[in-house]
Structure 1
Amino acid sequence: MDDQQIDLASVALDIGKRLASQSEASGTVKEAEKPLQTHEPKPTDTNTNTNTKGKGKVLMWPLEVAVQPTELSRCGLIRLLPKTRRRIVKNELVEHRSDIKLFFTGEELNVQDETVWLAVLRLCRGKPLGERVQFTFPQLLSELRMTDTGGKKGSRRLILARLERLSIAHIKVELNRKNSKSLITTGLMKFGIEEETGKMYVRLDPDGAILFDNLAYQNWEIRLSLKSDIAVRMLDYICGHQAGKPHSQKVENLRLWFGYAGRTDKFRTAALAALKELQAAGVVREAGGDKVALRWIRN
């Protein structure tokens, strides 16, 4: 879906004004299943750091994958947005599973925004959380398999708009893990760029360090090759669960967690097609479902 054209010089002021006028909304979905342990590939790099106390935690994973905090893949933070104006929300409780409760402030995020965030995480691999990580805009484009084009609808303007949305996003998260419950407030990232040279930096918020203790891994090239946004969101959710075991989920739950505003029957049809796309890509096997639930086994 197309991104809106955003005036980067005035977006923060505009959002601040609109946030003040937004009312709070909430939603929740209860789920009986217990969260499964994420299947993690064996790292190919031995440079790891077990420090989880905020700034200084080193992010490390195999080169061929993208990662994201598992709990964030199980809620409505990333939405399948219609081709209309995005909402600006303040402290809105998004649809969620029983193991996470998340309140979001900012401009709604879609799949393309998430892909840029995962590309940024890949560029921060091996760096301490909270440190300014320097690279160039062409390097970010390379991660996204894109070329630098100008104009109002060019890749540069679109990616900068996505970075802007990610940088103003703020979340309050209540985590429910095995024997502990936690409450944190954090952003996703900050960034800066020199327009003429393309030199830039990003800084991941160290206040969210606990989220990176539980990561979901997905093949980066497969993600970039998927044709539909719903297939990408299915990939997010599926990769947050254990491989080799049958898994099922109610269609209505997935519709809510993915932020799909249309009818459930239309979502089910699209979700089944997405599962077939993921099966063809080698992500799952024995994929299918009925009117109530979808089923698959993660490879």
Structure 2
Amino acid sequence: MDHTEISDTQDLLDQSETAALAPAEEEPKVRKARTNKGRKSKPFSIIAASADDPMQLNFWPDEVRGIPNAALRGSLFSISQERSMCKKRTQLRTVEGYKIMFKGERFNQRDLDLWELLLHVARQQPYGARVQFVASEILRELDRGTGGADYEELKEDMARLQSGVVEITYTDTNKTFSGSLIHNFLRDEDTQRYAVVFDQEMRLLYESGYSHMDRVQRKKLKNNMLAKWLMYFYGTHAAPLRLKVATLYELCDSKSARMTDFRKALRVALDKCVEVGAFTSWSIDPESDLVTVRRKGTASQQRHLAKKQAIKGDEAFAGKDDDFGF
């Protein structure tokens, strides 16, 4: 397939409310924290590892992040700051076309920021290779501090990504990826150098469709978790979607006690996405409560839409010929 940023499962989301939800279910010494204001980010010090297996993640430019669509079309990475624990395999909310089961400590947008960065660093390496970096580089790229508490928090985040068990089933092919988002990693406690490994089975996630996401736009959203979720959720679709407010509430795993509070937060988040250039416009129909988001698709997404339109045109033309008996 063209490294299409939109998988075929996107067709299950049409211009109307067809995105039905799947059913739910001793302290180290702390250095003085330092901020990154005024500090220019430096390229990662990636150490290439030799490997016999030539297969690797799909390559994408430095200014974007390449993320599997399945990970962004539901609540795998929620907007909640509260981290609940799924002691048993629990089905998460997602759009039609996928079934996601999860066991472990829940992920949120902060985990997604880290995971997409690690995938970005690993994109030029074969599956199974050890991708090495220094913790301070990762922290700076994530706009975090580099004090002792920040290093400890990174350790927790890495452990969470490795220990959480994710099952993603593509219902059109009935194939399932099951595993951790990080296969394993090593850490030198003296230098804080990491060596991360991504399992080759992750190929299924990329081969089933992935999207390029603008790194700069996401950074501008700062700590607005709902805006970050909306940007990536809608970013996996080429055509404008019309989804109900209640549907978005479920899909992002909002913990707002009142829908009125979520509506206010949703409007702020949508405005923020327009402000940074992720969306061109949005609206909420007062009668149907459908949210419509418009954005400028990537070149690959526009080619995808043009191809679909051409197919529809051919079908319509063929139908017309049949009607006239030609």
TM-score in same-fold range (> 0.5) = yes
SS at match of 1:119: helix
Read off the aligned partner of 2:295 and give its amino acid letter: R
Q: What are the equivalent positions in structure 2 for 1:175-186 lying under 5 Å apart? A: 175-177=170-172, 180-186=173-179
Q: Distance in 1 between matches of 2:260 and 2:285?
A: 10
Greater strand content: 1
Within the candidate set 219, 229, 245, 2:225 is matched to: 229
2:244 maps to which of 250, 260, 282: 250
The answer to whether the aligner puts 1:34 opposite 2:12 as a matched pair is yes
- The answer on whether the counterparts of 2:130 and 2:197 sit within 8 Å (CA) in structure 1 is yes
Return the offset for 1:112: 0.7
Verify the 8 A CA contact 1:130 1:206 in the aligned structure 2: yes
* Partner SS for 1:284: coil
| Pairing 1:127-276 to 2, within 5 Å after superposition | 127-150=125-148, 154-177=149-172, 180-189=173-182, 190-213=184-207, 214-227=209-222, 228-242=224-238, 245-262=239-256, 263-276=258-271
Q: What secondary structure does 1:74 align onto? A: coil
Q: 1:123 to 1:197 in 2, by over 3 A?
A: same
Tell me by how many angstroms 1:278 deviates: 0.6
User: Quick check: 2:177–2:205 contact (8 Å CA) kept in 1?
Assistant: no
SS in 2 for 1:237: helix
Structure with max Cα Rg? 2
2:81–2:108 CA contact under 8 A, matched in 1: no
Unaligned runs of 5+ in 1: 1-30, 37-53
Aligned-pair RMSD on alpha carbons? 2.2
Q: Measure how far apart 1:129 and its partner are.
A: 2.2
SS at match of 1:126: coil
- Give the stretch that moved more between structures: 88-97 or 272-281: 88-97
Equivalent-residue separation in structure 1 for 2:232 and 2:180 (angstroms): 20
Structure 2 unmatched runs, 5+: 1-8, 15-52, 297-326
- In structure 1, give the amino acid aligned to 2:119: L
Q: What residue number does 2:95 align with? A: 97
Contact 1:89 1:105 survives alignment (8 Å): yes
The 8 Å contact of residues 86 and 102 in structure 2, kept in 1 or not, is answered as: no
Distance 1:55 1:98 in 2: 34
CA drift of 1:255 comes to 1.0
Amino acid at match of 1:215: Y
* Inter-partner Cα distance in structure 2 for 1:264 and 1:191: 41
Provide the residue aligned with 2:122 in structure 1: 124
Q: Residue 33 of structure 1: CA displacement? A: 6.3
Alpha carbons of 1:32 and 1:288: their partners in 2 closer, same or farther (altered >3 Å)?
same
Corresponding residue for residue 306 of structure 2? none
CA deviation digits over 1:62-90, x for unaligned, max 9? Answer: 1101121101111211112254x532432
TM-score, normalised with respect to structure 2: 0.70
Shift of 1:120: 0.7
Deviations 1:188-209 (A, max 9, x none): 0022211211211111132221
User: Quick check: 1:272–1:288 contact (8 Å CA) kept in 2?
Assistant: no
Matched, 1:280 2:284: no
Percent identity over the alignment is: 23
1: distance between equivalents of 2:235 and 2:211? 6
Normalising by the residue count of structure 1, what TM-score does the alignment of the two structures yield? 0.75
Name the aligned partner's letter for residue 180 of structure 2: G
* CA distance in structure 1 between the partners assigned to 2:112 and 2:234 by the alignment: 16
Number of residue pairs matched by the alignment: 244
Native 8 Å contact 2:56 2:124 kept in 1:
no
